[in-house]
Amino acid sequence: MSEEPKRRFDFSGGHLALDFANTVSHRPTSQRLDRLAEYRDLVCFGDEAGLYPPRAVDHLYAVTGAAPGLGKAALQNALRLREAIFAIFTAVVERRAIPGNALAILNSVVRAGGEHARVGHMSRHFQWEWTGMDSDLDSVLWPIARSAAELLTSGDLSRLRICASPDCDWLFLDQTKNHRRRWCDMKICGNRVKARRHYARVKAG
């Protein structure tokens, strides 16, 4: 039995919009790592998130291979939306005023995607479907922006958290029963912080 291919992106945020915001690692530090370095990375994220229909990925790669400038422009649009989503949701967590410019960016993508959105029906379930996912280079942003808008207008914002590690800043929905989840990933950030505290205690002792 073959192993599942390893994903390049992490989807521990519990929500598409949050996972998209989390495509930056070590955000508040000098070791900041942007995992969307080129347009192919953006398409890879959308592919791993299950946003594209069959053959769309290859077609988008072909388009940007022939016109790399278009890919660069689409990537800049994606980074603008990502930073807007991060600004909005961190403001929610920290109970600060929502940046108006960030909300305007989100709404502009929601409006653009609305022209391509439709309700589909399959296997007794209704779901959002998107036309043009295989031809418009910005198409992956449409479901991401809608997911951000739906989360903002849902009852789940009380579960919104930001990782307690000082060098992380990843966002996530706390789905635990006691609502006390502190880390984006206990095995990574949680253990790292605990190790630092242990080292500090040993050094002080």
pLDDT (tens digit per residue) in 168-183? 999 999 998 888 888 8
DSSP string, 66-129: H-HHHHHHHHHHHHHHHHHHHHHHHHHHTT-PPPHHHHHHHHHHHHHHHTTEEEEEETTEEEEE
pLDDT (tens digit per residue) in 65-109? 999 999 999 999 999 999 999 999 999 999 999 999 999 999 999
* Residue ranges covered by each domain of the chain: 16-204
For the chain, report the end-to-end CA distance as a whole number of angstroms: 51
The DSSP call for residue 158 is G
> Is residue 120 within 8 Å of 128, Cβ to Cβ?
yes
Secondary structure of residue 22 in the 3-state scheme: coil
In order along its 205 residues, the chain shows pLDDT tens digits of 445 567 899 999 999 999 999 999 999 999 999 999 999 999 999 999 999 999 999 999 999 999 999 999 999 999 999 999 999 999 999 999 999 999 999 999 999 999 999 999 988 899 889 999 999 999 999 999 999 999 999 999 999 999 999 899 999 999 988 888 888 886 668 555 554 543 445 455 5
| Residue 59 buriedness (CB in 10 A; 0-12 / 13-18 / 19+) | middle
Question: What pTM value is reported for the model?
Answer: 0.89
CATH superfamily of 16-204: Jann2411-like domain (1.10.3300.10)
Paired strand residues for 128: 119
